[in-house]
Structure 1
Amino acid sequence: MLVALAFAAGQAQAFEWTLVRRVEQADVVSATYISQDLPVNPGGFIYTDDSATPVPFPANGPYAITGILGEIVNEMNESVPLSECYDHHWVIKRRGFQNAFCPDGPVYTFGVGAESRNTPVKFPRGYGYRMLDDDAYWGANIHLIRTQYLAGDDAAKAAKECNECYYAPGKGCLPRQNGTFSCCGDTSMAPGHCPLADDAPSVPAIYRLRYTVNYTDYAAVEPARVGVWTTPDCATYYQVLHNETHPEQLSSTSFTPPFDMEILLAIGHQHVGAINISLFVNDVFVCASYPTYGTDPNNTAGNEQGYLVKISYCYDKDDSPAPLVVRRNDTVRLDSWYWTSDDDPRIAPLPGGTHLNVMGYMFVLYSLL
C-alpha cells in the first residue's frame, strides 16, 4: 500500500518528531531521530511516499553531513529483527536531489535496507555533504514487510516469498506483476497482504525509522556529492532465476561518467542470495562489496539467521594508497552476482533458487574535479 504519512502545513501539530540523542564531540554533532509511527498488520506492508513523508534533519544554519546510520525499531525503541519485520529499504532524499549517474533510476541521498543497521555511511576525513538551507525538505520512502503469522507449513518459504514480492491472491496485485513492488506495497489496487494463517491476529505492530546524522561545520570540510549506479541498466530491481547448472548469475552494466570526479566512498547494496557486487574502471577491477549473512537461529536483531545483515565497503578513500579518479571518457562497470541453486547454506533456513525483486546498487560519494 502506498502510504502518505504526511500532513498539510496547517496540521503539523498532529505529529511530533522526537530527538532521542544529541552528543557533541569535538567539532562533530551526532543527532538521533525517531520517525512517526508506521503501523503494519501481520503479513502486511507499508511503502511510504517520500514526497509526502517528511523526516527531520538538523536545522541550525549551514552544516555538512559526515555520516548516517539507520534501522527499524519498535514503539519501545528496540531494534526489530528482520525475521519479524523485513526492512526492504528505507531511503531519504533532499527535495530537488537528482541522481546524476542514473537519471531514470533510483533517486535517493542516503539509505538503504536490511544491512543498514550494521553498515553505517562514514564520509572520508575532510569531506561532507554540505547543507546551506536549514529549511530544506527531506522525505522518506520506507518499505517494510511484516512476515508474522503467514500461511503454510514452511515458514521460511512463506517469508521468502513475502519479502521478495511474489504474487499471491489477496496481495493487491496481478499475476503479471509477480516480483514487482506492486506485490509488496506500492500498488494502486486495494491494499493487500501476504497469505495469512487462519488464526492470524489482525492487530498492527508499530515500527519506526531511527536514524543518526553526524554533522559538522559547513566550512570545515570539502564538499562531497552523492550518486548511485545500478544494474541492470539503472533498474530499481530485477530477478535472478533458479539455475542448478550455472548457479552464479551475473548482471553487468557499463556506464559513461557524466563528469570528471574522484570517488571518495563506494558501498554496495544487494539482497538475500547475493555473492558480491564489484566495480571496474576501464575493465580493471577496483573493488567489491561482500555481504554478511546472519547466523543466529534465535534471530537476534543484527544477526538474523539466513538474512543479509551487513555489506562491506567497496572503496574508502581513507584506506586507499592513491586517489580513485574517473574521467568522462572512462568506462565504469558494475557486476552484481547472485547464487541461484537450491543449495545455498549461507541463507538457510530461507530457501535458495529463484530470487525476485533483488537489487544491484553501488552508492558513491564523490567530488568534482
Structure 2
Amino acid sequence: MYQHMRAWVLSSFLWIAIVHGKIVTETSLDLSTGKLKSAVFKSPAFILGPGQVQNKWFYGIDFPKGHIALKSFNAEVVNENGKSVPLSETYLHHWLVARFYYKKPITEEQTKPKTNRLSSSNYILVGNDGICQGQTLPQNFGIGSETRHTRTFIPNPYGIIVGDPNKLPEGYEESWLLNVHAIDTRGVVNTRGCTECKCDLYNVTEDANHHPLRKNYIGGLDCCYDGTQCQLKEGVQGKKRKLYLKYTVYWMDWEKSIVPVKIYILDVTYNGEQSGCQVEYDVPQCSAASHSPGDCVDIREANMVIPQGGDVIYAVAHQHIGGVGSALYGQDGREICTSLPLYGEGREPGNETGYVVGMSTCYPVPGSVQIHGGETLKLQSKYNKESSHTGVMGLFYLLVAAPA
C-alpha cells in the first residue's frame, strides 16, 4: 500500500515545486549571506527502553540571545554519540519550540516550571498569531517524523522577530521551551499501533491527568503520554538508550530591513471556537469491499477566519502515516498552498520505509499569493483509509507578512 501511495505522492511532490513559477524548488533558496548565523544545540537527555514513551517539556533551553530574526529551526533525534536514530527505532511523534516570558529577578531553577503548564503569574506563554491559541498550539516551530526533509528556512528579507526589548512586559525576561514526544518501537508487537498511540497497546484507561478516557476514545495523545509503555513481544529484553533532540537554529541580528512575519498555525479539527482545536482525529477504514486507490480517501475540512492578512511567505502541512496531502484555499476557492508528504523507502535515518520523512513546502514569489484580513480560509486534510488510523493530525503552518 505504501509503495503505491509513495509513488502518487512523490509525483505530486515534484510537480508542486514548479507549478506556474510561483513556488521555488527546495534547493534554490539563498543561504549565502554573511549576516546569517547558525548554532547546533542538544536538548537535555531522555532515556528510553523498548516500547517506552518520552513526552516531556524542557524549559529554559539553549537558544540564540538578543533581538534577532529567526530564519530556520530544525531537529532530529540522535544518540549519545551524536548518531542519527531511525524512525523505525525511535518514532518522533512531534517536537515543538515556543517562547515564554518569566518574571525577574528569578533564579535559574525558577525558569523551569515543575509542571507542564505555565500557570503561575511568574510566566507568560507568548504563543503565535494562529487560530488555536492558549496551551493548545503555542509553538513558533514544530513538526514530527518529517523533520529531516522538511524545509523551514524563511527567505530574505523576512524573519520571525524575537527578543525585541520593546515587546517585553516590564519586569520579565524571554526564554524558550521545547516539547519532545518520542516513542521507542524496538520489540513492540505492533509498530504502527504504537506510533498511532492505540490505547489497548498501552493498557491505559486514564489520561496523563488521571482523568478517565473519553467514551469511544481508542487512540491518540491521551494514551501515549510521558512514561507509558507500549506492548512488547514476549521475551523482549532491550537496553535503555540515552537520546537527545539535536536542533539547528539559523538567525540574523535584527535590523530595519528585515520584514517581520506572523505565524498562523491552523488545525483541520477547528470547530469555530477559540478553544476549538482538538489537534488530533481518527480516520475510519474504508467500508467499500472493492475500490480503486483514489476512492478510499478520508477528507476532512475546516473553515477559519484570518484576523490580519498579507503576503504568504511560507506554508507547510503536518501529517502522520497515512497522510496523502493537505491544502489551504482562499474564500474565493483559489489555492494558497498544497503540501504533500514524502514516504521513505529504505532503512537509513531519513528514508525509513512506510514513514512520512518529509513534507513539501510552499514559497510563493513575494506578493503573488495574498490573504485578506477577515477572509475565511478552508483547510483540507486527506488520509488514505485502506486501514484505520488513530490520533492523526492535520495542522498547517503559515507565515504571512504585511504587504509593503
Which of the five TM-score ranges fits, normalised by the shorter chain? 0.7 to 0.9
- Whether 2:214 is the aligned partner of 1:183: answer no
363, 374, 388: which one aligns with 1:329: 374
Residues 215/170 of structure 1: CA separation in 2 closer, same or farther (3 Å cut): closer
Amino acid at match of 2:253: D
- Tell me how far 1:334 sits from its aligned partner: 0.5
Query: SS in structure 2 opposite 1:78?
Result: coil
Q: Which residue of 1 aligns with 2:187?
A: 149
Query: SS in structure 2 opposite 1:168?
Result: helix
305, 308, 322: which one aligns with 2:356: 308
Instruction: Return structure 1 stretches of 4+ with deviation > 3 angstroms.
Output: 169-177
Written as runs of structure 1 = structure 2, the 5 A alignment for 1:212-361 is 212-219=248-255, 220-233=257-270, 234-245=277-288, 246-282=295-331, 283-296=333-346, 299-313=347-361, 315-317=362-364, 320=365, 322-341=367-386, 353-361=387-395
Deviations 1:42-100 (CA, angstroms, capped at 9, x unpaired): 10101113xx53321112x3221111221111111111100000000000001132343
Structure 1 runs not aligned, ≥5 long: 1-22, 152-157, 342-352
Distance in 2, matches of 1:83 and 1:69, equals: 20
Q: Which residue of 2 aligns with 1:48?
A: 56
Query: SS in structure 1 opposite 2:174?
Result: coil
Amino acid at match of 2:59: T
Q: Which residue of 2 aligns with 1:197?
A: 233
Distance in 2, matches of 1:133 and 1:100, equals: 16
Q: Which residue of 2 aligns with 1:350?
A: none
* Contact 2:80/2:243, CA 8 A, preserved across alignment: yes
- Tell me how far 1:225 sits from its aligned partner: 2.2
Deviations 1:248-282 (CA, angstroms, capped at 9, x unpaired): 11110011111232221111110110111001001
Residues 333/227 of structure 1: CA separation in 2 closer, same or farther (3 Å cut): same
Amino acid at match of 1:196: L
- Whether 2:140 is the aligned partner of 1:106: answer no
Query: SS in structure 1 opposite 2:143?
Result: coil
* Contact 1:24/1:30, CA 8 A, preserved across alignment: no
Larger RCO, structure (CA 8 Å, separation 6 or more): 2
Distance in 1, matches of 2:342 and 2:287, equals: 23
Between Structure 1 and Structure 2, how many residues are aligned?
318
* Contact 1:171/1:184, CA 8 A, preserved across alignment: no
TM-score by length of 2: 0.74
Distance in 2, matches of 1:214 and 1:170, equals: 38
Residues 33/184 of structure 1: CA separation in 2 closer, same or farther (3 Å cut): same
Residues 312/24 of structure 1: CA separation in 2 closer, same or farther (3 Å cut): closer
Q: Which residue of 1 aligns with 2:34?
A: 26
- Tell me how far 1:215 sits from its aligned partner: 0.8
- Tell me how far 1:368 sits from its aligned partner: 3.4
- Tell me how far 1:170 sits from its aligned partner: 5.0
Structure 2 runs not aligned, ≥5 long: 1-30, 101-124, 166-172, 207-212, 271-276, 289-294
Distance in 2, matches of 1:24 and 1:33, equals: 22
Distance in 2, matches of 1:89 and 1:26, equals: 32
- Whether 2:243 is the aligned partner of 1:207: answer yes
* Contact 2:260/2:401, CA 8 A, preserved across alignment: yes
Distance in 1, matches of 2:278 and 2:204, equals: 23
Residues 45/126 of structure 1: CA separation in 2 closer, same or farther (3 Å cut): same
